[in-house]
Structure 1
Amino acid sequence: MKFVLFTTNLLMSAVLSRFAISKLAGWEISVNAFIEMAQPLGINPTFFRLFTGFVILSIVIAYLSTAIYSLFESKIGSEVKINFKKFANYSNLMGLLTMIGALLAELFLRVQPKWPLVYIAIAVIILSIINMIILKTSTKYNVQCSK
């Protein structure tokens, strides 16, 4: 279980980091996509892009933190005053909901959806659900880690 949580969270953070960087750095492909998607909503595309970039960056940090903690949990568990199970569930829920939003935006706000982006969003949704099921069924993570 620990290996699955580590691997899936690390993979999702790595994949989503590329999208956070492209939005925050203002890569041309990202700028053009957000101009297209913001038009039907009637909002500022730059604000929309930067807001989305910061949301995805926070998810990347949460996924990465979950991956690192799940890997070193036995060594740092007694030193950290967090409830790992709650944090990991919130991380995965935040990623899941954001990717549902990204999927809806891709399908309904773009003239022509970019299918690789649709597949990536679906993969993150599925992996987040798997992680939440693992966390729910695992008794290992039921104890709150506190000093």
Structure 2
Amino acid sequence: MKILHALLNLLAGIILTRFTVSKFAAWPESVAGFEDMAGTIGLDPTLFRITSGFIIGIAALTFFTNFVIILFTRVKHKKVIGLFIVNALYAIGAMCGALISEFFLRSNPAQMLVVIAVGIIILALINLASYRIEIGKTLGNLNSTDK
């Protein structure tokens, strides 16, 4: 199960890297999509595309980091668990932003992008659920040190 969990994080990182490259390399379908979305809110489509590329690229890095944490970390140190929590929450936020863009800015939402974003949110939630006991202990320890 641990290997499957790690591989899903690796796959999510690879998928998000592909989308990051498409934004930075100005692939025609990416440029067209951002021209469509940026016109809705009056933003420069190139700036919107590049900014989105950075956001998605960081999300990809969070999944690669989680891959390493899942496979190679035996000690559940609170800093490692904290990083894992931040990574999952960042990915959820980035994908929620992508879904908002798809549904409210794009004239015709791309179904495949919606499915991928929802899948990545589900994986991030699985990441949180898989470490729920350690997260609870870590948060409990943080609360007890504040007193």
TM-score tier after normalising by the smaller chain length: 0.7 to 0.9
CA deviations on 1:86-117 (whole Å, 9 max, x unpaired) are 11111111111111111111111111111011
| Structure 2 runs not aligned, ≥5 long | 142-147
Alpha-carbon distance in 2 for matches of 1:2, 1:32: 39
CA-CA distance at 1:4 after TM superposition: 4.7
CA-CA distance at 1:126 after TM superposition: 0.9
Alignment of 1:1-147 (within 5 A): 2-74=2-74, 83-138=79-134, 142=138
CA-CA distance at 1:82 after TM superposition: 7.5
CA-CA distance at 1:14 after TM superposition: 1.2
The alignment's TM-score, normalised by the length of structure 2, stands at 0.84
**What is the letter of the counterpart of residue 64 of structure 1?**
F
CA deviations on 1:3-42 (whole Å, 9 max, x unpaired) are 3541231121011111001001111110110010011111
Q: Is the 8 A contact 2:91 2:124 kept in 1?
A: yes
Q: Is the 8 A contact 2:89 2:124 kept in 1?
A: yes
Aligned residues: 138
Larger RCO: Structure 1 or Structure 2 (Cα < 8 Å, ≥ 6 residues apart)? 1
CA-CA distance at 1:69 after TM superposition: 2.5
Secondary structure of the 1:26 match is coil
